Chains A and B, each alone.
Chain A
Amino acid sequence: MCGIVGLFLKTDTYRSELGRHTAAMLHEMRGRGPDSAGFAVYDEGIEGQTRLTLLAEGRDFSSADWKPLAASLEDVLSAEVSVRSILDHAVFETKGDGRAARQWLIDNHPSIDVLSHGRQIELYKSVGDPDLVAERYDLATRSGTHAIAHTRMATESAVTTNGSHPFVTGADTCLVHNGSLSNHNQLRKRLEQRGESFQTENDSEVAAGYLSWRLREGDSIDEALHAALADLDGFYTFAIGVESGFAILRDPIACKPAVVAETDDWVAMSSEYGAIATLPDVQHATVFEPEPSVIYSWSLAA
């Protein structure tokens, strides 16, 4: 089943409350995905600076524990790396090359998962009750511009933290998925030949990798999603976060649910209206069901 939510704040009215509203939405989706959860939060970031969210599953490292890894990465990047740890996750910040950092970590430290990289994004995920996951990684106190979150009922791969959503494979590009893809193995091979690297056997990670590849090739998010309609086979409702932007896509059959609500201040999407009903001023929102094969996107960029 799985539950997905996305909240994109068009104005700064609710930006200090982004985490609180996202946590409330996630809470409503527990029933659709009780086995694991994850969330990505975007803020405006710092120009020229990359953040990497890392996971050492089940090992609660202190910042000091992460230091040797950060020091090795500093040598590779020839740039300083700062460390902030939160339980088994850590956020590394650097002015060095984020994509190179991700690749080096994947190649040299297979016991560490690189959950996200980019200027704006931080990403947390874990197995367990979605409310506990939100609480453990402090979702409610976070501020920012947009957030994507997921509650998982695993079907295509095991119940593990790194099988949980969201998935990030490209800078600031994050995807959550309700559904299942049938051609992900073939597509994963094609994408690996084109330089994408994957950390799981999960079908949804392949969809994230596909978008990262298209965006890296110069597509806009709308162009990348248009191409995805032709290349991805299966059932899907996607909520997608990109740098300063948010998008939604459903497959042509559209049997996986989705509902969208929009006000002057925010756009929200979820698998069920119950998640949206928690949002401020919802009684004045325009509520609609996104149509199959139609790309919906919003951007803060001028």
Chain B
Amino acid sequence: MSESIFDLADVTVRELNQTLHANESGTFRVLNPRGAHAVAAGINSDVEVHIEGSVGYYCAGMHQRGTVRVHGNASTGLAENIMSGTVHITGSATMSAGATGHGGLLVIEGNAGSRCGISMKGVDIVVGGNVGHMSAFMGQAGNLVVLGDAGADLGDSLYEADIYVRGAVESLGSDCVEKELRPEDLETISRLLSAAGLAAEPTDFTRYGSARELYNFNVDDINAELAEGQS
């Protein structure tokens, strides 16, 4: 299948993105990204995009359906608000990778910086290296699989996402606790590793999740609230 080449030394990111938005399918190769922002953002089709080099902020932001592969590093907000499809980078990402993602798969072969998967809402994130502090902060759904170590305050104020870490965790955030690794967790890890093309032994991971003690509503308090409302 033929492939379209976009050299960002010659064309603007806007031209690239407009082309990606106008095509329902096809393979696109992007050269010389040189840290440009918002490369391949807003895709909502079955296109396949290969980016040869490192990108700036919000690469593949709001991604849906297609595939974006970055052969390099990415800065803040990689695949932020991803809805579906796949975003895969061979290098490392800085802050807030996969932030608020609703679905799809984000693979970072290297390390992810702080707040990886912050407020994740269903996305699956697989990180080959380490994640920085406050990763999965306020996560609501989805899975974060970390083959390396996790920084401080992992899973702080977590709602319902699952976190699997193979290495050491510097500290757990408020209301995040270690949980039993169930057979369905081993299946999830196995499935995500395979989708990410990374090798590891599922049983080597530890699962972390919400202790559910920060949920403010307590049924025993309902009468107190009603009583207060009447006074």
Contacts and interface: CB of A to CB of B under 8 A. Distances in A.
Contacts of A275: 35
B92 A289 contact: yes
Interface string A250-261: 000011010100
A176 to B, nearest CB: 19
A277 B9 CA distance: 12
B196 interface: no
Contact of B57 (A272, A287, A291): A272
Interface string B171-185: 000000000000000
Contacts of B94: 257, 259, 289
Contact of B114 (A254, A272, A276, A287): A254
Contacts of A257: 75-76, 94-95
Contacts of A272: 35, 56-57, 75
A257 B115 CA distance: 13
Given A259-B75, A289-B92, A274 B114 contact: no
B191 to A, nearest CB: 29
B133 interface: yes
A288 interface: yes
A259 B151 CA distance: 18
Q: Give the interface residue-count category, chain A.
A: 10 to 19
A296 interface: no
Nearest to B32: A277
B36 A288 contact: no
Interface in A248-284: 254-255, 257, 259, 272-278
A292 interface: yes
Contacts of B92: 287-289
Contacts of A259: 75, 94
A292 B35 contact: no
Contacts of A28: 35
A28 B56 CA distance: 12
Nearest to A254: B114
B110 to A, nearest CB: 9
A277 B35 contact: yes
A289 B75 CA distance: 9
A272 B37 CA distance: 10
Interface in B76-98: 76, 91-92, 94-95
Contact of A273 (B56, B95, B132, B151): B56
A289 B35 contact: no
Contacts of B210: none
Given A272-B57, A289-B113, A255 B95 contact: yes
B34 interface: yes
Interface in A11-56: 28
Contact of A292 (B34, B91, B114): B114
Given A257-B94, A287-B54, A292-B114, A273 B35 contact: yes
B114 to A, nearest CB: 6
Contacts of A276: 35
Most buried by A among B75, B92, B94, B114: B94
Contacts of A291: 132, 151
Contacts of A277: 34-35, 54
B73 interface: yes
Most buried by B among A28, A257, A275: A257
Contacts of B75: 257, 259, 272-273
Contacts of B111: 288
A289 B34 contact: no
Interface string B98-139: 000000000000010110000000000000000011000000
Given A276-B35, A292-B133, 14 more contacts: A254-B133, A259-B75, A272-B56, A272-B75, A273-B55, A274-B36, A274-B56, A287-B54, A288-B92, A288-B111, A289-B92, A289-B95, A291-B151, A292-B132
20 contacts: A28-B35, A254-B114, A254-B133, A255-B95, A257-B75, A257-B94, A257-B95, A259-B94, A272-B35, A273-B56, A273-B73, A275-B35, A277-B34, A278-B34, A287-B91, A287-B92, A288-B92, A291-B132, A292-B132, A292-B133
Interface of B: 34-37, 54-57, 73, 75-76, 91-92, 94-95, 111, 113-114, 132-133, 151
A-B pairs, top 9 by smallest CB distance, nearest first, are: A274-B35, A273-B35, A277-B34, A289-B94, A277-B35, A289-B113, A287-B73, A273-B75, A274-B56
